[in-house]
């Protein structure tokens, strides 16, 4: 039986409860952190999956918990980093950016694994979880997603190239 102790999430490095629940099957997360993420995205104001703010939460969480290199994590990380690129560099809302439209202008065969930087940003889902109202939540999500995006700075040119390659096709 597990005690009420806190352990460090291997992805975002937040201290979270050491609990026994299913976690995500390929992300670099642990149940205590995954559970907080599930609680955040199941809030009433985030139930509509197409909203830009919810899409941003998903992208930031996945980019901060990339997991280990595999076919599926490579695709997943690329897709979510491209979303952060669209939001922060191209100032585009994410509500229309479905997986299908995204695939249409990127070249997924070019995606390759990006070894995660050792520091993926000091703001985490735990900071977002503490937000009590919608406005505060959105502000915190923006700060969190932006610091996560900056943590991947050295790969920004590669991510941009994936998009440009798609435009040529």
d(CA 62, CA 125): 11
C-beta of 12: minimal distance to Zn ion in Å? Answer: 3
Complex with Zn ion: residue 33 or 82, whichever CB lies closer: 33
Q: Which is nearer to Zn ion, 97 or 137 (CB)?
A: 137
Burial of residue 3 (CB within 10 Å: 0-12, 13-18, 19+) is: exposed
Residue 12 engages Zn ion in binding (rule: CB under 5 A): yes
* Using rule CB under 5 A, residue 116 touches Zn ion: no
By CB under 5 A, tell whether 9 contacts Zn ion: yes
Q: Does 27 bind Zn ion (CB under 5 A)?
A: no
Provide the 8-state DSSP code for 92: -
Q: Quote the CA–CA distance of 18 and 93 in Å, as a whole number.
A: 35
Q: Rounded to whole angstroms, what are the CA distances from 116 to 12, 15, 70, 106?
A: 11, 20, 13, 21
Taking the least distance from each CB to Zn ion, the nearer of 62 and 162 is: 62
Rule CB under 5 A: say whether 79 interacts with Zn ion.
no
State the residues that interact with Zn ion by CB under 5 A.
Answer: 9, 11-12, 33
């Amino acid at each position: 039986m597990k005690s009420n102790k806190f352990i460090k999430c291997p992805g975002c490095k937040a201290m979270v409860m050491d609990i026994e629940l299913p976690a995500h099957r390929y992300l670099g997360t642990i149940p205590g952190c995954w559970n907080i993420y599930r609680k955040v995205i199941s809030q009433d104001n985030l139930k509509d999956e197409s909203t830009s703010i919810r899409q941003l939460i998903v992208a930031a969480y996945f980019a901060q918990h990339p997991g280990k290199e595999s076919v599926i994590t490579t695709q997943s990380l690329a897709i979510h980093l491209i979303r952060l690129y669209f939001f922060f560099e191209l100032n585009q809302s994410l509500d229309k950016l479905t997986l299908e439209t995204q695939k249409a202008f990127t070249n997924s065969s070019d995606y390759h694994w990006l070894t995660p930087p050792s520091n993926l940003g000091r703001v985490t889902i735990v900071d977002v979880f503490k937000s009590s109202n919608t406005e505060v939540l959105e502000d915190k999500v923006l700060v969190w997603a932006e610091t996560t995006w900056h943590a991947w700075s050295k790969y920004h040119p590669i991510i941009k190239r994936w998009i440009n390659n798609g435009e040529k096709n």
